[in-house]
Structures are given as structure tokens and as C-alpha cells.
Amino acid sequence: MPVINVKDDQDFKNQLSLAGPKPIIVDFTAVWCGPCKMIAPAFEALSNQYLGAIFLKVDVDVCEETTANHGVTSMPTFMVFLNGNKMETMKGANKEGLEQMVKKFADNSASGSLVDGQSDLTTLVDKKQMESLNGCDDTPLDRFLEGNCNLVSDCDEQLIVSLPFNQPVKVHSILIKGVSDRSPKKVKVFINLPKTIDFDNAAGLEPTQLLEFDDTATKGEGQIIPLKYVKFQNVQNIQFFIEDNIGGGDVNFEFSRSVLLLSFQVTELVKLTVFGTALSAMNMNEFKRVAGKAGDAH
């Protein structure tokens, strides 16, 4: 998740209140501070690695009241806040110390990830560009991703969900939880399409991977299916075509005043979670040359 530059003292208070249970990692910095500039890339990299936390950058010359209230006297100073309370403070441009502090409060297991070593990528979805085709107007996609409603299809069981990311990611697995026989059964997954696919093309196009869910997706936290990881190494957008549901999209027949009414069983999602990591979180020092020598042409 990108580092948030705090605008002023009131904005800092707003960020604390909006964070909910997520830990907040704060970098108190100054534009004239050399050590601050030195450690800034490391702070940015940690924000992309630990997606379960919120990372704030506070300019001490802009947010003087906040700086004074929290006793900041040297830069850089890093603080961790949890539920609005200050938990820990670290002074100085110490990369190893900073990472240890962040990991203590914001590692993937502490952030509630259901997949070991992977993060919920919802925070990296571009909310302005995402789409839901054949979604019910009463269950908008933004509210669904925030956990404030279920996502329900409109006139039949089919549904397309398009999730563009604001930076490239590696996708590891997909979690789906549905409601009884309204839960998705067959789901086509597409990546890096130039625009949101329509239903005609989705039905005929070969997916990057086809997922099939069973009634496990209606129980507990839902059903997690790992992806063919090699195919999902550089994902800029991911699209889901829910082709049918466990109920099979059965037609319901009703009679009203001698008129036959047909209604298709809709699909209803409680959760749709993409797990993975941001590409920018990868440490290039961990890569090893497998052939040739440094400087060789390829």
C-alpha cells in the first residue's frame, strides 16, 4: 500500500480514526534531513510488503502540533499506533531496527491473513476503475470490498468482477465465500485484459485459470483455491467471470393471476479475496544469476 503523506495536523487525527484495528506506522521526517532521505526507500518498500498496516509520512515542519504532541525531537523518528494508542518509538535511520518494529506489529499473520506469507490485496485495488457487471444496484462493489454488504447478481446467476491494481502484483490464491446454493461454482479467471470483458467474450475466451468451488465455499471463512502461480507473476488487473452457481442457476416458476413468471436464481457472494504480494516488495538482492556473468548481453 502506498505511503500516505499527511497534509496537516487534522489529517493526522483523521488517519488515526480511520485506521480501525490496523496498525499505523508513522515516519516523522523533514525535507532538509539527510538520514530521512536515506531511509525513505526502505520505508516505502515496507509499506508494499506489509499490506495489513497503514504507513504515514509526517513532515515535522508542516504538522508542528502533531510533532510536539508526540515528543518528536529528532528526525527521522518512527512510531507505531494501534487503535489510536502509541505503542512503540524508534529514533534514527536504522533499516534493520525499522523492519523489526514493523514486523512486530504488522506481519502477515498478525494482519489476519488466511494464507501464510501472503497478503490480502484488496488495499491495492484501484477503486475508481473496478467494475461489476450484472451486479445488483443495491449491493455496489465498493461496499462489498469494504465488507459492508454481500455482492448479489441481478437478473441471473452470472457475474463479472473486474479488479485493477494500482501497482503490479503477484497473485497466489483466491478465496470465495457464498450463500448456500447461491454460492459460485465455476469461475473463469482472466488477467491483464485491456478492458473489462463482456459476457459473450467471457463465455468463449480461454481463461488464465478455471476455478471450481464446492459447498466448502459456503462454510466458515469460505474456500481458498491456490492459483497456478507461474501464470500470475505480474498482474495489473484480474477479472472473474462467475459462470454458474451451486444451485445451477435453476429457473423458479411462479404463477400470479394466471400469468407464468420466470425468475433465475442469482449468485450471492459474502467474500471475494485475492491473496498475493506487491512486486515492489520483492528484494532484488535475493535474485541470483543463473547463467552468464554480470554485464553479459542477453
Please report the pLDDT score of residue 279 as a whole number. 79
33 has catalytic annotation: yes
State the burial class of residue 112 (Cβ atoms within 10 Å of its Cβ: 0-12, 13-18, 19+).
exposed
Provide mean pLDDT across the span 152-179: 94
* Residue 204: burial class (beta carbons within 10 Å; 0-12, 13-18, 19+): exposed
What does the alpha-carbon distance between residue 243 and residue 185 come to, in Å, rounded to a whole number?
8
Average pLDDT over residues 265-276: 92
pLDDT in tens, 83-140: 788 899 999 999 999 999 998 887 644 445 677 777 888 888 999 999 999 999 999 9
pLDDT band per the 50, 70, 90 thresholds, residue 288? very low
Mean model confidence pLDDT for the chain: 85
Q: Return the percentage of the chain with pLDDT > 90, whole number.
A: 64
Say which residue the cell 509520512 belongs to. 57
Domains detected in the chain? 4-107 (3.40.30.10), 119-278 (2.60.120.470)
Mean pLDDT of 74-80: 96
Of 36, 63, 149, 155, which one is the catalytic site residue?
A: 36
Identified catalytic residue from 33, 136, 149, 155:
33
Summarize the confidence of residues 261-280 as an average pLDDT: 81
Say if residue 290's pLDDT is above 70: no
Res 106: pLDDT: 78
Q: What pLDDT is attached to residue 202? A: 95
Is the per-residue pLDDT at 289 higher than 70?
no
Q: Is 36 a catalytic residue?
A: yes
pLDDT at 163: 97
CA atoms within a 13 Å half-sphere pointing along the CA-CB vector of 151: 29
Q: 220 pLDDT exceeds 60?
A: yes
Quick check: 12 and 58 in contact, CB under 8 A?
Answer: yes
pLDDT at 54 over 50: yes
More confident residue, 182 or 1: 182
- pLDDT at position 280, please? 66
Rounded-to-5 percentages of helix, strand, coil across the chain: 25, 35, 40
Q: Which 8-state DSSP code applies to residue 5?
A: E
Q: Which residue has the cell 515528543?
A: 71
Q: Which residue has the higher pLDDT, 277 or 213?
A: 213
Q: Is the pLDDT of residue 284 over 70?
A: no
13-48 pLDDT tens trace: 999 888 877 889 999 999 999 999 999 999 988 887
Q: Which pLDDT does position 281 carry in this prediction? A: 52
Length of the chain: 298
pLDDT at 22: 83
